[in-house]
């Protein structure tokens, strides 16, 4: 029974604490970043602009799910899952249509007029401010629970302690895994998926090959919009729905997309997880893990109560740091995407 031997030798309390507060927390927030970054990287790769309203599109998607939950409050009870999650596909569809509508009204005329990319970026900042206003106008500024009542909690016994995961967190992780598989098949097997990659690779050649720009652009918004709605809804289920829910996630999401390489959906997922893990591990209190080693340390070395790379309030510097480091040392991202322009 070598395994139990190793497990017994480990300081279990501290190790399980690390799994819960370090690894799982990183996986959870990383999944949200990953779902958001897929959209950002596809839009940047295919439409060639930075989609700043992406965070607010996530919040809007969560609001659509909240409204649907208010209309059909019992939908979840039918299959025993949280109602907002059950209604999420509808919220995703609405957000996708909303994203296509925004594109038609604001970005498409600019593309047709062949403006410089920076003009579209400015328009995207305008749309971001507009969406933030609209969300506060219709949704108010207070935080809301997506669903009344308490969340189901799963406890997995591990070495005498429990690994703890709430139902929304588990759904988020499973949903992200499903998205990774679905995206893989879509992008490598389907005609439209390959056309999207072709257009990200070389838009002029795609057009010359007879690939319809309109179809590809529409599909891009459907994927970006629906995944944004899913990310927003799942994040709001995990915490609560506030108007600035996902705007705060915007910088980590951009960092994830750039780390993964612009135009690379799998890079974006890896980047999202990387940023998520880095962020949680940077604010993790390493004293907890080091304390059991105290007897082996020299006496003069005293472990502080809290030992983290950055204090929790300054968490946002982590994606900033990753972003700047990648831009300086590896501007095409770790998976060789297009050069960040």
Partner 1 sequence: MSLLEMTDIHGGYGGANILNGVNISIEADEIGVIVGPNGAGKSTTLKALFGLLRVSQGSIVFNGGPITNFAPEKLVREGLSFVPQEFNVFPTMSVHENLEMGAYIRRDDFRHLLDQVYGFFPPLKDKRKQPAGELSGGQRQMVAIGRALMTEPRLLLLDEPTAGLSPLYMDEIFDRIIAINKSGVGILMVEQNARQALAIAHRGFVLATGRNRFTGTGAELVADPDVAKSFLGGGE
Question: Is the Cβ of residue 90 or residue 187 nearer to partner 1 in the bound state?
Answer: 187
Question: Is the Cβ of residue 306 or residue 336 nearer to partner 1 in the bound state?
Answer: 336
- Could you tell me if 146 and 241 are in contact, meaning their C-beta atoms sit under 8 angstroms apart? yes
Question: Is the Cβ of residue 79 or residue 208 nearer to partner 1 in the bound state?
Answer: 208
Nearest-10 Cα torsion for 69, 74, 79, 82: 40
Consecutive H or E run containing 162:
strand 161-166
Q: How many CA atoms lie within 13 A of 110 on its CB side?
A: 18
- Contacts with partner 1, residue ranges (CB under 8 A): 191, 194-195, 197-198, 201-202, 204-212
- Distance, in Å, from the CA atom of 312 to the CA atom of 309, rounded to the nearest integer, reads 9
Nearest distance in Å: CB 217, partner 1: 14
> Which tokens sit at 299?
């006496």
Residue 253, judged by CB atoms within 10 A of its CB (0-12, 13-18, 19+), counts as buried
Residues contacting 277, CB < 8 A, separation 6+: 23, 26, 27, 30
Question: Is the Cβ of residue 30 or residue 271 nearer to partner 1 in the bound state?
Answer: 271
DSSP 8-state symbol, 209: T
Question: Is the Cβ of residue 54 or residue 264 nearer to partner 1 in the bound state?
Answer: 264
Nearest distance in Å: CB 339, partner 1: 13
Question: Is the Cβ of residue 205 or residue 316 nearer to partner 1 in the bound state?
Answer: 205
Q: Map tokens 């472990």 to a residue.
A: 303
> Which tokens sit at 135?
């969300």
Nearest distance in Å: CB 151, partner 1: 42
Question: Is the Cβ of residue 202 or residue 312 nearer to partner 1 in the bound state?
Answer: 202
Question: Is the Cβ of residue 158 or residue 335 nearer to partner 1 in the bound state?
Answer: 335
Nearest distance in Å: CB 183, partner 1: 16
Nearest distance in Å: CB 340, partner 1: 16
Nearest distance in Å: CB 99, partner 1: 24
Consecutive H or E run containing 270:
helix 265-283
């Amino acid at each position: 029974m070598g395994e139990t031997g190793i497990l017994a030798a480990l300081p279990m309390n501290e190790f399980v604490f690390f799994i819960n507060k370090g690894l799982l927390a990183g996986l959870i927030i990383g999944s949200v970043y990953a779902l958001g970054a897929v959209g950002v990287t596809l839009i940047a790769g295919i439409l060639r602009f930075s989609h700043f309203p992406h965070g607010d599109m996530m919040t809007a998607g969560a609001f659509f799910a909240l409204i649907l939950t208010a209309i059909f409050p019992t939908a979840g009870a039918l299959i025993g899952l949280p109602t907002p999650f059950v209604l999420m596909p509808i919220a995703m569809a609405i957000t996708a249509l909303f994203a296509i509508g925004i594109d038609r009204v604001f970005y498409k005329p600019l593309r047709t007029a062949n403006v410089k990319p920076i003009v579209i970026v400015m328009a995207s900042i305008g749309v971001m401010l507009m969406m933030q206003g609209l969300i506060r106008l219709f949704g108010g500024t207070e935080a809301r629970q997506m669903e009344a009542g308490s969340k189901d909690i799963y406890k997995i016994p591990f070495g005498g302690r429990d690994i703890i995961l709430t139902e929304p967190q588990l759904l988020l992780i499973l949903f992200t895994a499903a998205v990774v598989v679905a995206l893989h098949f879509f992008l490598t097997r389907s005609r439209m998926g390959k056309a999207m990659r072709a257009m990200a690779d070389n838009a002029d050649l795609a057009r010359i090959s007879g690939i319809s720009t309109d179809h590809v652009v529409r599909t891009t918004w459907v994927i970006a919009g629906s995944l944004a709605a899913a990310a927003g809804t799942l994040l709001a289920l995990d915490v609560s729905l506030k108007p600035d829910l996902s705007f705060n996630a915007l910088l980590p999401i951009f960092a994830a997309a750039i780390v993964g390489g612009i135009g690379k959906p799998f890079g974006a997922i890896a980047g999202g997880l990387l940023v998520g893990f880095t962020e949680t591990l940077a604010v993790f209190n390493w004293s907890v893990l080091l304390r059991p080693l105290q007897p082996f340390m020299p006496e003069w070395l005293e472990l502080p109560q809290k030992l983290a790379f950055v204090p929790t309030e300054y968490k946002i510097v982590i994606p900033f740091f990753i972003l700047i480091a990648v831009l300086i040392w590896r501007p095409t991202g770790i998976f060789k995407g297009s050069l960040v322009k």
